Amino acid sequence: MEEKLYGDKARVEIERKYLVKGDDWKSSSDSVFVRQGFLSLDKNCTVRVRSVEGTGVITVKGPTKGISRAEFEYEIPVDEAEEMLGSLCAGSVIEKRRYRIPQGDLVWEVDEFFGDNQGLIMAEVELNSEDQAVDIPSWIGEEVSEDVRYFNSYLATNPYKDW
């Protein structure tokens, strides 16, 4: 499970996203299977529901400004998350395997997509500030942090297979 804040406080998510090249990143990482969908795709407020190996999570995100946005995240019963994924989501449900790769003080999360987004592999790293220096691993390719096509909310209605 991702390390996020669950509770009644928002936090600012500062995240950089990259395409991944090669498969050197797979050598020593743990992973979880993620199913996620979007209850709202409004650019000012997205609402996401996830099922992550027995845990349900609902996340509300504010508008993106640069590489930052407000984020509220709460654990919910997994059966309710699954019900929402099956009946309430806009677009298609995204399925992916998420790998967590520690490097120095940061943890890279690599998403290997399946289904309609098969073939897409992206890495993201959460930062403490927008100008935080990042040591880029050799398996990291082009940065796509501000390219909306690589937002999961976009992929739900515009799958990678259709590009």
The verdict on residue 96 lying in a domain is: yes
In the chain, % of residues over pLDDT 90:
85
Q: What is the domain count for the chain?
A: 1
The pLDDT tens digits of the residues spanning 109-129 come to 999 999 999 999 999 999 999
For 89, the 3-state DSSP assignment is: coil
Its domain, for residue 62, covers: 11-162
What CATH number corresponds to the domain at position 146?
A: 2.40.320.10
Q: Decide: 16 and 124 in contact? Cβ < 8 Å.
A: yes
Q: Which of 39, 124, 31 is nearest to 76 (CA)?
A: 39
The verdict on residue 4 lying in a domain is: no
The verdict on residue 37 lying in a domain is: yes
The verdict on residue 82 lying in a domain is: yes
The pLDDT of residue 90 is above 50: yes
The verdict on residue 101 lying in a domain is: yes
Q: Decide: 50 and 36 in contact? Cβ < 8 Å.
A: yes
The verdict on residue 5 lying in a domain is: no
What is the rounded average pLDDT for all residues in the chain? 92
The verdict on residue 1 lying in a domain is: no
Q: Decide: 78 and 51 in contact? Cβ < 8 Å.
A: yes
- What is 131-146 written as a DSSP string? T---PPPTTEEEE-TT
The pLDDT tens digits of the residues spanning 47-88 come to 999 999 999 999 999 999 989 999 999 999 999 999 999 999
pLDDT of residue 2: 44
Q: Residue 1 — very low, low, confident or very high, per pLDDT cuts 50/70/90?
A: very low
- Using only C-alpha atoms, the chain has a radius of gyration, in whole angstroms, of 15
The model carries a pTM of: 0.90
The verdict on residue 38 lying in a domain is: yes
